[in-house]
Amino acid sequence: AACRAHNFSAGPAMLDTGAMTYVQENLLDYEGCGMGIHEMSHRDVGGPVHEMMARTSDNVRRLLGVPDNYRILFFQGGAHGQFAAVPLNLFGKGGKGDYVIGGNWSTKAMKEASKYGEVRVVEDTTSKGNAYYAPVDEWELSDDSAYVHVCTNETVQGLAMHEDPDVGPNHVLAADMTSSLFSRPVDVRKYGVIYASGGKNLGPAGCCLVIVRDDLLDQSLPQTPSILSWKVANDHNCLYYTPNAFAIWCVGVITGDLLARYGNLEEVAKRSKQRAEMVYKVIDNSVGFYTNNVRPDFRSHTAIPFRIRDGVEELEKKFIRDSVKCGLHQTFGHSSVGGLRVAIYNGLPDESLKEFVKFMKDFMDTNA
C-alpha cells in the first residue's frame, strides 16, 4: 500500500485511500479500455466519458436524494467561479442578492456578486465573533432579491449550519457547500442552488458540482459567460466545454464508495460528528490552553480551527513544528487568520485523528 502521511490539510484535503487506490489502478486502463478516462474524447456519444459522467451524476443524486426537478452539473473554475455564476445566472430577475455573512467565504462570494448587481447583508456574524448565526426568522430578507446566499460551512472560521435554513417559498436559497457537502444529509428542496468545489469531500480540485432547480435555468444576465452558464451546461450535458473527466471520475469513485460503505449520509454524519467531538472535547477540557470560540451548536464537523491560549503565536508555531516531527502534517490555520486547524473530511482515516488527538493532549501536558 502507498505510504500515506497523517494529513490534516483543510483543502485540498486528503482523499480516501481506498478510492484513490482504485483510481491509481485504473488510471492508465479505464475499465479495460486500454486508455485513461482523461485520454478519451468527450464527443464519443454514449462512450466511456458520457457513461462515467452519467454514473457520477447518478451517485450524487442517490447519495444526496436530489429530486428529479434538480439538475446536477459539473463546472470548472471552482467555488470562485460560482461566486460569479450565482449572480450572473440569477440576476436576470431583479439584480439584487441577499447575503448571510459568516466569514471569509461568504464575504468573498458577496464581493464577487457586487460586480453584477446590488448586494445586501441580511445577517452578519462578524460582530458576534463569527460564533453563531441568528435564527433564520431574524434575517432581514428583502422582498425583491433574486436569491439569499449562505455558506453552510465557513472553512476558515469553523462556523457551520447543521440545519438547512428554511427561507420559505418566496425566496431562492443559494448555498456554498464546498466544505460540508457529503458530511451530512441535505434537504435539497430547501435550496434553489447548491454548489461545492473539489478539494474537500468531493474529490480533487478542478471539478465544481452545481445542483440547481430547473426553473432557475432561465433567469441569467445576457452577458453571462458560457463557461459559467448553468443553462448552457444543462443544455449540453456539461459537454459544451471539455469536461475535467479525471476529476469527475474521482467524484464518481468517491461517491460510489460512500454509497457502498455507508449507504446514506446519516451514517456519514454520525461519523463526522463523533470525530469532531473528539477534537472539541480536548479543546473544552483544556481549561483555556486550546481555544475555539464558536458556539457548540454551530461548530464545524469538517474543519476545526483552534488557537493556543487565544493566539500565543510562539506556542502555535511550536505546535506545528512538533506535530510535523510526529508525522502529523498541515495543521496550520488559514493564512488570513493564522492559528491552527485540523480538517477531518471523510477521507481522513480514524487512526490519523486518534494520533492527532493524542498529540494535542501530549503537547498540552508538555507546554501548559
Residues 6+ apart with CB under 8 A from 331: 8, 319, 320, 323, 340, 341, 342, 356
Of 37-45, 175-183, 186-194, 342-350: span binding ligand PMP (CB under 6 A)? 175-183
Active site residue 139: no
Q: Which range, of 46-54, 78-86, 128-136, 356-364, touches ligand PMP by CB under 6 A?
A: 78-86
- Distances in Å between the Cα of 304 and the Cα atoms of 79, 152, 354 are 20, 14, 15
Stretch 94-113 residues interacting with ligand PMP (CB under 6 A)? 105
**Would residue 200 show up in a list of annotated catalytic residues for this protein?**
yes
Query: For residues 177 and 328, which CB has a smaller minimum distance to ligand PMP in the complex?
Result: 177
DSSP structure class, residue 143:
T
Q: Count CB-CB contacts under 10 A for residue 322.
A: 16
Q: What residues numbered 132-161 form the site for ligand PMP, per CB under 6 A? A: 151, 153, 155
Contact with ligand PMP (CB under 6 A): which of 98, 112, 164, 176?
176
Q: Treating both helix axes as pointing N-terminal to C-terminal, what angle do 245-262 and 17-26 enclose, rounded to 10 degrees?
A: 130
The verdict on 204 binding ligand PMP (CB under 6 A) reads: no
Q: Rounded distance, CA 325 to CA 202, Å? A: 30
Nearest distance in Å: CB 194, ligand PMP: 12
Nearest residue to ligand PMP, by Cβ distance, number only: 78
The residue range among 47-55, 171-179, 221-229, 285-293 that interacts with ligand PMP, by the rule CB under 6 A, is 171-179
Q: Which of 179, 220, 224, 346 is in the footprint of ligand PMP by CB under 6 A?
A: 179
Sign of CA dihedral 273, 278, 281, 282: negative
Q: Which residues contact 3 (CB under 8 A, 6 or more apart)?
A: none
Q: Which residue has the cell 485513461?
A: 36
**Residue 205 contacts ligand PMP per CB under 6 A:** yes
CA dihedral 222, 171, 147, 184 (to 10 degrees): -120
Q: Does 346 bind ligand PMP (CB under 6 A)?
A: no
- Among 59, 78, 75, 151, smallest CA distance to 110 is for 151
Residue 230: active-site member: no
Catalytic residue among 176, 230, 249, 257: 176
Binding site for ligand PMP (CB under 6 A): 11, 78-80, 105, 151, 153, 155, 176, 178-179, 197, 199, 205
